[in-house]
Structure 1
Amino acid sequence: MPIDRPVPTGPAAPDLQIVSTRVYRGPNVWSYDKAVHLVVDLGVLEGYPSDTLPGFTDALLQLLPGLDGHTCSRGHRGGFIERLREGTWLGHVAEHVALQLQQQAGHDLRRGKTRADRSVPGRYNVIYGYLDERVALAAGRLAVRLVNHLVRAEPGFDFALEFDAFLASSARMAFGPSTAAIIEEATSRDIPWTRLNQASLVQLGQGVHAQRIRATMTSRTSALAVDIAGDKSLTTTLLGSAGLPVPKAESVRSAEAAAEAATSIGFPVVVKPLDGNHGRGVCLDLRSEADVLAAFPIAQGQSKRGVVQVESHITGKDYRCLIIGGRMAAIAERVPAHVIGDGEHTVGELVEITNADPRRGVGHEKVLTRIAVDDAARELVKSQGYEWDSIPPAEQMVKLALTGNMSTGGISVDRTFDAHPDNIEIAEEAAQLIGLDVAGIDFICPDITAPVRETGGAICEVNAAPGFRMHTHPTVGEPQFIGKPVVDLLFPPGAPSRVPIVAVTGTNGKTTTSRMLAHIMKGLGHKVGMTSTDGIVIDERLVIRADASGPRSARMVLSNPRVDFAVFEVARGGILREGLGYDRNDIAVVTNIAADHLGMRGIDTLEQLATVKSVVVEAVPRDGFAVLNADDPHVRAMRRKCSGTIVWFSMEPPGSEIREFVEERCRRGARAVVLEPSDRGEMIVLRQGRRRMPLAWTHLLPSTFGGTARMNVANALAAAGAAFAAGAPLHDIRQGLRTYTTSYYLSPGRLNRLEVNSAEVFVDYCHNPPGMERLGEFVEGYVEQRQKSLDHRISRIGMIGAAGDRRDEDIEALGHIAAEHFDVMVVREDANLRRRAPGEAAALVVRGAQRAMDAGARCRQIATVVDEIAAVRHSVHLANPGDLVMLCVDQHAAVLAELEDFTHEAAAGSRTDGDQPGDPDLDPQQLVDEAQTSYAQEAAARREAIEPPLPTL
Structure 2
Amino acid sequence: MDLPTPTGPAAPDLRILESRVYRGGNIWSYDPSIHLVVDLGILEQYPTSALPGFTERLVELLPGLENHTCSTGVKGGFISRMQQGTWLGHVAEHIALQLQQEAGHDQRRGKTRMVKDRPGVYNIIYAYTNEEVGLAAGRLAVALVNDLVQAQEDFDFAEELERFLTRAERTAFGPSTGAILEEAVSRDIPFIRLNSGSLVQLGQGVHQQRIRATMTSKTGALAVDIASDKDMTTKLLASAGLPVPKQETVRSAEGAVAAARRIGFPVVLKPLDGNHGRGVCLNLMDDEAVREAFVIAEDQSRRGYVIVESFVTGRDYRCLIVGGKMQAIAERVPAHVVGDGTHTVRELVELTNADPRRGVGHEKVLTKIKVDAAAEELVREQGFTLDDVPPVDSMVKLALTGNMSTGGISIDRTFDAHPDNIEIAEEAARLIGLDVAGIDFIAPDIASPVREAGGAICEVNAAPGFRMHTHPTVGEPQYIAKPVVDLLFPPGAPSRVPIVAVTGTNGKTTTSRMIAHIMKGLGRQVGMTSTDGIVIDERLVVKSDASGPRSARMVLQNPRVDFAVMEVARGGILREGLGYDRNDVAVVTNVAPDHLGMRGIDTLEQLADVKAVVVEAVPRDGFAVLNADDPLVRRMRRRCSGSVVWFSLAEPGSKVRDLIDDHCRHGGRAVVLDRTDRGDMLVIRHGRRSMQLAWTHLLPATFGGTALFNVANAMAAAGAAFASGAGLHEIRQGLRTFTTSYYLSPGRMNQINVHNVDVIVDYCHNAPGMRVLGEFLERYASMKSGQSDLGKISRIGMVATAGDRREADMIELGAVAAEHFDVVVVREDERLRGRERGFTADLVAQGVRSRMGQPGVRCRQVEIVLGETDAVRHVMARANPGDIVVLTVDQHAAVMSELEAMTKQAQPGSHTKDSVGDPDMDPEAMMEQAKEAGDSAARDLEPSP
Distance, in Å, in 2 between the alignment partners of 1:112 and 1:372 is 39
Amino acid paired to 1:210 = Q
2:283 equivalent among 280, 285, 289: 285
Question: Which residue does the alignment assign to 2:921?
Answer: none
Question: Which residue does the alignment assign to 2:867?
Answer: 867
Distance, in Å, in 2 between the alignment partners of 1:535 and 1:778 is 27
Question: Which residue does the alignment assign to 2:61?
Answer: 63
Question: Which residue does the alignment assign to 1:807?
Answer: 806
Which residues of structure 2 form unaligned runs of 5+?
911-926, 941-945
Cα distance, 1:945 vs. partner?
Answer: 7.7
Cα distance, 1:597 vs. partner?
Answer: 0.7
Question: Which residue does the alignment assign to 1:535?
Answer: 533
Distance, in Å, in 2 between the alignment partners of 1:5 and 1:749 is 58
Q: What secondary structure sits across from 1:321 in the alignment? A: strand
* Counterpart contact for 1:672–1:721, Cα < 8 Å: yes
Question: Which residue does the alignment assign to 1:947?
Answer: 934
Q: What secondary structure sits across from 2:327 in the alignment? A: strand
2:556 equivalent among 552, 555, 558: 558
Amino acid paired to 2:168 = S
Bigger mean CA deviation after superposition, 862-871 or 443-452: 862-871
Bigger mean CA deviation after superposition, 483-492 or 57-66: 57-66
Q: What secondary structure sits across from 1:328 in the alignment? A: strand
Question: Which residue does the alignment assign to 2:26?
Answer: 28
Question: Which residue does the alignment assign to 2:272?
Answer: 274
The root-mean-square deviation of aligned C-alpha atoms, in Å, is: 1.6
Residue-pair matches, total:
924
Q: What secondary structure sits across from 1:263 in the alignment? A: helix
Question: Which residue does the alignment assign to 1:733?
Answer: 731
Amino acid paired to 1:136 = G
Instruction: Tell me, yes or no, if structure 1 residue 117 matches structure 2 residue 115.
Output: yes
Map 1:383-782 → 2, pairs under 5 A = 383-782=381-780
* Counterpart contact for 2:512–2:567, Cα < 8 Å: yes
TM-score, length-scaled by structure 2: 0.96
Cα distance, 1:504 vs. partner?
Answer: 0.3
Q: Deviations over 1:711-769 (max 9, x none)?
A: 10000000000000001111101100000000101000000011101111111001100
Map 1:167-316 → 2, pairs under 5 A = 167-316=165-314
Amino acid paired to 1:840 = F
1:380 equivalent among 358, 378, 386: 378
Distance, in Å, in 2 between the alignment partners of 1:892 and 1:613 is 26
In structure 2, relative to structure 1, the CA distance for the partners of 1:943 and 1:420 (3 Å cut) is closer
Question: Which residue does the alignment assign to 1:833?
Answer: 832
Distance, in Å, in 2 between the alignment partners of 1:400 and 1:847 is 84
Distance, in Å, in 1 between the alignment partners of 2:803 and 2:303 is 63
State, as a whole percentage, how many aligned pairs show the same letter.
71
* Counterpart contact for 2:13–2:42, Cα < 8 Å: yes
Q: Deviations over 1:448-475 (max 9, x none)?
A: 0011111111101000111110111111
* Counterpart contact for 2:3–2:47, Cα < 8 Å: no
* Counterpart contact for 1:593–1:634, Cα < 8 Å: yes
Amino acid paired to 2:58 = L
Bigger mean CA deviation after superposition, 296-305 or 357-366: 357-366
Instruction: Tell me, yes or no, if structure 1 residue 108 matches structure 2 residue 106.
Output: yes
Amino acid paired to 1:254 = S
Q: Deviations over 1:814-866 (max 9, x none)?
A: 11111111112111111112222222211111111112113131112222211
Distance, in Å, in 2 between the alignment partners of 1:520 and 1:364 is 50
* Counterpart contact for 1:869–1:942, Cα < 8 Å: no
Instruction: Tell me, yes or no, if structure 1 residue 126 matches structure 2 residue 124.
Output: yes
Cα distance, 1:372 vs. partner?
Answer: 2.1
Instruction: Tell me, yes or no, if structure 1 residue 156 matches structure 2 residue 154.
Output: yes
1:53 equivalent among 39, 51, 54: 51
Cα distance, 1:941 vs. partner?
Answer: 12
Question: Which residue does the alignment assign to 2:922?
Answer: none
Map 1:315-354 → 2, pairs under 5 A = 315-354=313-352
Distance, in Å, in 2 between the alignment partners of 1:92 and 1:385 is 59
Question: Which residue does the alignment assign to 1:914?
Answer: none
Distance, in Å, in 2 between the alignment partners of 1:407 and 1:81 is 39
* Counterpart contact for 1:620–1:644, Cα < 8 Å: yes
TM-score, length-scaled by structure 1: 0.95
Distance, in Å, in 2 between the alignment partners of 1:123 and 1:909 is 69
Cα distance, 1:369 vs. partner?
Answer: 1.6
Q: Deviations over 1:791-814 (max 9, x none)?
A: 222211111112111111111111
Q: What secondary structure sits across from 2:254 in the alignment? A: helix
Bigger mean CA deviation after superposition, 128-137 or 341-350: 341-350
Question: Which residue does the alignment assign to 1:823?
Answer: 822
Q: What secondary structure sits across from 1:556 in the alignment? A: helix
Which residues of structure 1 form unaligned runs of 5+?
911-939
Map 1:791-940 → 2, pairs under 5 A = 791=789, 792-856=791-855, 857-907=857-907
Cα distance, 1:591 vs. partner?
Answer: 0.1
* Counterpart contact for 1:207–1:562, Cα < 8 Å: yes
Cα distance, 1:291 vs. partner?
Answer: 2.1
* Counterpart contact for 2:853–2:860, Cα < 8 Å: no
Amino acid paired to 1:904 = K
Question: Which residue does the alignment assign to 1:931?
Answer: none
* Counterpart contact for 1:547–1:950, Cα < 8 Å: no
Cα distance, 1:365 vs. partner?
Answer: 2.1
Amino acid paired to 2:844 = V
Cα distance, 1:568 vs. partner?
Answer: 0.5
Cα distance, 1:445 vs. partner?
Answer: 0.7
Amino acid paired to 2:107 = L
* Counterpart contact for 2:891–2:930, Cα < 8 Å: no
Cα distance, 1:909 vs. partner?
Answer: 9.4
In structure 2, relative to structure 1, the CA distance for the partners of 1:579 and 1:572 (3 Å cut) is same
Question: Which residue does the alignment assign to 1:919?
Answer: none
Question: Which residue does the alignment assign to 1:923?
Answer: none
Distance, in Å, in 2 between the alignment partners of 1:525 and 1:946 is 30
Cα distance, 1:363 vs. partner?
Answer: 2.1
Distance, in Å, in 1 between the alignment partners of 2:705 and 2:903 is 28
Distance, in Å, in 2 between the alignment partners of 1:377 and 1:853 is 92
In structure 2, relative to structure 1, the CA distance for the partners of 1:740 and 1:252 (3 Å cut) is same
Q: Deviations over 1:233-259 (max 9, x none)?
A: 000000000111111111111111111
Q: What secondary structure sits across from 1:518 in the alignment? A: helix
In structure 2, relative to structure 1, the CA distance for the partners of 1:206 and 1:6 (3 Å cut) is closer
Amino acid paired to 1:813 = E
Cα distance, 1:390 vs. partner?
Answer: 2.0
Cα distance, 1:947 vs. partner?
Answer: 2.4
Amino acid paired to 1:864 = I
Cα distance, 1:265 vs. partner?
Answer: 1.3
Cα distance, 1:6 vs. partner?
Answer: 4.5
Cα distance, 1:53 vs. partner?
Answer: 1.3
Amino acid paired to 1:679 = D
Distance, in Å, in 2 between the alignment partners of 1:75 and 1:411 is 39
* Counterpart contact for 2:3–2:85, Cα < 8 Å: no
Cα distance, 1:522 vs. partner?
Answer: 0.6
Q: Deviations over 1:656-695 (max 9, x none)?
A: 1111111111111111000011111111101111111111
Distance, in Å, in 2 between the alignment partners of 1:76 and 1:173 is 32
* Counterpart contact for 1:516–1:719, Cα < 8 Å: yes
Cα distance, 1:950 vs. partner?
Answer: 7.0
Distance, in Å, in 2 between the alignment partners of 1:6 and 1:712 is 59
Cα distance, 1:4 vs. partner?
Answer: 2.8
Distance, in Å, in 2 between the alignment partners of 1:312 and 1:517 is 67
* Counterpart contact for 1:16–1:40, Cα < 8 Å: yes
Distance, in Å, in 2 between the alignment partners of 1:281 and 1:163 is 34
